[in-house]
Homo-oligomer: A and B are copies of this chain.
Amino acid sequence: MHIGFLGLGNMGGPMARNLLKAGHTLTVFDPSPLATAALVELGARTTNGPAELARDGVAAIITMLPTAAHVKDVYLGAEGLLANVNRGVLLIDSSTIDPLSAREVAKAAAAQGNPMLDAPVSGGTGGAAAGTLTFMVGGTDSAFDHAQPLLAAMGKNIVHCGASGNGQVAKIANNMLLGISMVGVAEAMALGVSLGMDAKVLAGIINTSSGRCWSSEINNPFPGVLENAPASRGYSGGFGTDLMLKDLGLATEAARHAKQPVVLGAAAQQLYQTFSLQGYGGLDFSAIINLFRREA
């Protein structure tokens, strides 16, 4: 299939590569010439912007952008996708943005005859490269069915979350819970160790008890508990604190508009913000445990 792909960053780049590998034809665009060149080398065509990309005869367009402002600009702007794309072309936005913006753009697309899906991902740059991302997808059944083979070239779990915007809802609800759980594990591990327990023994007990969670089992924040976790390599790699902050910001903002209290969600956001202010925004978010441990 001939696919347009906009946004070739740390996530978008490897996702586009996996589409090429799966045999699709690609027309790509990214403001960075370097990012673009890397795809062109692998056989992709390039264009000078969204408008031209939209008019390049593509059957579907996938976007992977940093913020809702970028998404609105690329889709709704005068030189954007909607103003230039043919009726019927499938639109898939994999950016992580707030559900309200996602619904607004999807509604505009639908109004002119373009089915649109919000399809944010989890799995990080590793999952993007390996083609094992999880896609959380919001939109109609027919658009979802249509998109599934494309998404399957880039991910492993393709979950239909319901109507438009629900992909974003699922993502921010899950990641808010993740951000809370990680702080919870960090506090519990730091407390237990300061009260005299061995970190591995404590993690073992938690992981077979009612405290168990992804953050204790897969990404335990205490150094040395899991050999392959960021905590055991100085918190490098993984999911950056500032990225967690972005998702918690989306969650608390969405909650504000929905008049929904998220007490621990907001508290977790503020703790990551406090930690980031101290200069650690680039570390894996499990490094938040350092807020609760005496400096060595």
Contacts and interface: CB of A to CB of B under 8 A. Distances in A.
A122 interface: yes
B266 A205 contact: no
A122 B209 contact: yes
A115 B24 CA distance: 55
A264 B177 contact: no
Q: How many copies does the complex hold?
A: 4
Interface stretch (A37-45, A86-94, A248-256): A248-256
Contact of A274 (B162, B188, B195, B292): B292
B206 A174 contact: yes
Contacts of A291: 261, 274
Given A174-B210, A181-B211, A195 B99 contact: yes
Given A181-B181, A188-B176, A202-B170, A165 B196 contact: yes
B261 A177 contact: no
Interface residues of A, number: 84
A124 to B, nearest CB: 10
Nearest to A174: B211
A178 B184 CA distance: 8
A96 interface: no
A211 to B, nearest CB: 4
12 contacts: A99-B195, A162-B201, A173-B188, A175-B210, A176-B191, A177-B206, A178-B211, A187-B265, A191-B251, A191-B262, A261-B277, A263-B271
B278 A295 contact: yes
Interface stretch (A2-10, A58-66, A212-220, A226-234): A212-220
A244 B173 CA distance: 24
